[in-house]
Amino acid sequence: MLRQARRLLAVGCALALSGVAVAAAPARSAVHPDLSGFWILSMQPPTLAKTLTTKLPANTVVVDDTGPAELPIGDYGGLKVKAAALAEARKWKPQDEMTISRTCSPPSIVYAIQGPFPFEIYQTPELIVFKYEYFDQVRLIFMDGRGHPPADAPHSKTGHSIGRWDGDELVVDTTHLEPSTITNNGLNHSAGIHVVERYKRSADGKTLAATQWFEDPAVLDNNGARLIEWSSKPGSYVYPYDCDPSFALQYQAAPDAK
């Protein structure tokens, strides 16, 4: 118990010092792959992540909007959207996002993790921490065998995540996600979405690949997935995001078209 407490304390200390150097990460397991470090989105087509697609469940479409790519309005990347959710999605207007109450509201990890912002991983046997630059989001991946909390427990944009090792791959299961965008163009997931991510580090250590799979029967008739790869950049660290909602006021004050 004392040993576990010390390890958790080590993670906390590392997070506190992360603005100085990622090298301050705590001691890691010698048994499992070491995923810790600073990771920045790769702009190359995924290769290692493609090898993980064989482990995706049936009836899954890979949504091709990872990184800078974006789906236009009305295009949901092959996701089969139920009628009610589709009707809601079609009501969406881009300007809806440009309000002081919305502009600093982060997307859930369903959309957020594939964007062109870096993150750090801190790893211990019992707990893995993902610290994202985008909106300063932090995820705790519990590796101690616990389950998810009751269904009516509070939801959030980062949800509740539990992890396990499948050989040299980290499998992360996430529930309790607050409704948020799936494709950044009006399609939202429900509070019942279930996300499973599978992470694998390349043999040379330079690449971290992942599949992000999700099911949301209240919204989708099929399942979705993304392929994501990041590159290692030792010595770098995420910057504070500190979102300022006054950007929305500046947008609203922009001159009108003539």
Partner 1 sequence: MTKVKILAMLGVALLGQSAALAHHSFAAFFDPAKIVKVTGKVTEFGFKNPHGVIVLEVPGPGGQVQKWQAETNAPVVLQRRGWTRESIKPGETITIEGWASRDGKPYLRLRQAFHADGQPVGKLAFGQGDQ
Choices 9-17, 66-74, 141-149, 150-158; region in contact with partner 1 by CB under 8 A: 66-74
3-state secondary structure of 231: strand
CB 133 within 8 A of CB 117: yes
* Residues 213, 224: Cα–Cα separation, whole Å: 6
Helices (H), the chain: 2-16, 48-51, 83-90, 109-112, 246-252
Contact region for partner 1 (CB under 8 A) — 78-86, 109-117, 160-168, 216-224? 109-117
Would you count residue 180 as binding partner 1 (CB under 8 A)? no
Site for partner 1 in 113-132 (CB under 8 A): 115-118
In the complex, the smallest distance separating the C-beta of residue 236 from partner 1, rounded to whole angstroms, is: 9
Q: Is 100 in the site for partner 1 (CB under 8 A)?
A: no
* Residue 182 binds partner 1, judged by CB under 8 A: no
Sign for the pseudo-dihedral over CA of 171, 172, 173, 179: negative
Residue 210 β-bridge partners: 199, 228
Per CB under 8 A, the segment of 10-18, 37-45, 123-131, 146-154 that binds partner 1 is 37-45
Among 2, 3, 31, 68, indicate the residue that binds partner 1 (CB under 8 A). Answer: 68
Radius of gyration of the chain (CA): 19
Of 230, 222, 174, 162, nearest to 201 (Cα)? 230
* Cα–Cα distance measured from residue 126 to residue 180, given in angstroms and rounded to the nearest whole number: 29
| Segment lying near partner 1 (by CB under 8 A), choices 17-25, 79-87, 155-163, 250-258 | 250-258
> Considering only residues 183-202, where is the footprint of partner 1 by CB under 8 A?
184-185
First to last CA, the chain: 68
For binding to partner 1 (CB under 8 A), which residues are involved? Answer: 40-41, 43, 67-73, 94, 97-98, 103-104, 106-107, 115-118, 133, 135, 184-185, 238-244, 246-247, 250-251, 254-258
